[in-house]
Copies of this chain bind each other. A is one copy, B any other.
Amino acid sequence: MLKLTKKVDYALLALNLMARNEEGGISNVRDIAALYSIPPEILAKVMQKLSKSGLIQSHNAPKGGYSLKVPAEEISVLKVLVAVEGPVGIVSCSDGTDRTCQQRDQCDIRSPLERLQNNILWFLEALSIRELGQEPAVLKGVTDGSSLFGQPLHHKG
């Protein structure tokens, strides 16, 4: 729950790579998949979605592949997320998938939750794939999160 899917993970890895290869450079699915040990077929699907949503440009030919269609700075994590998985909503009532929530009539927490959601979306929008490949210091926002809430937030190494 609250987890990014593997497909999004793949998309971010690929886009980060392409961002480093700089605009104009062309990468093909097979190479990227091999580099990151991603199943080629599934990465292909992901790339197609990114292409359809206009984030990357396809070159359908031998020696072809994909290249960034817009500058890396303008490709936010949120855009990638939406491109690959569709509309995002932390509560089902807010992204159109579940307009038949049984609790809706009595629900008195919808408004604050939507606000929370907007904040989260804002974070996702504020992080671009350009920043993905850069050092932590460059990132805007907060904290190193060490021992934030008693959970295993990360394992260095």
Interface residues in chain A, defined as those with a beta carbon under 8 Å from any beta carbon in chain B = 1-6, 8-10, 12-13, 16, 35-38, 77-79, 81-82, 85, 87-92, 94-96, 99, 102-103, 106-127, 131-134, 136, 139-145, 148-155
A38 touches B108 (CB 8 A): no
B108 touches A133 (CB 8 A): yes
A3 touches B92 (CB 8 A): yes
Closest Cβ neighbor of A99 among chain B residues: B155
Known contacts A4-B90, A4-B91, A95-B151: A77-B12 contact under CB 8 Å: no
Number of copies of chain A assembled together: 2
A116 touches B124 (CB 8 A): yes
> What distance in Å separates the Cβ of A110 from its nearest Cβ neighbour in chain B?
8
The 8 Å CB contact of A123, one of B79, B116, B154, is B116
A132 touches B119 (CB 8 A): no
A143 touches B118 (CB 8 A): yes
- Give complex CA distance A3, B1 in Å: 6
Known contacts A3-B92, A141-B119: A114-B154 contact under CB 8 Å: yes
A35 touches B106 (CB 8 A): yes
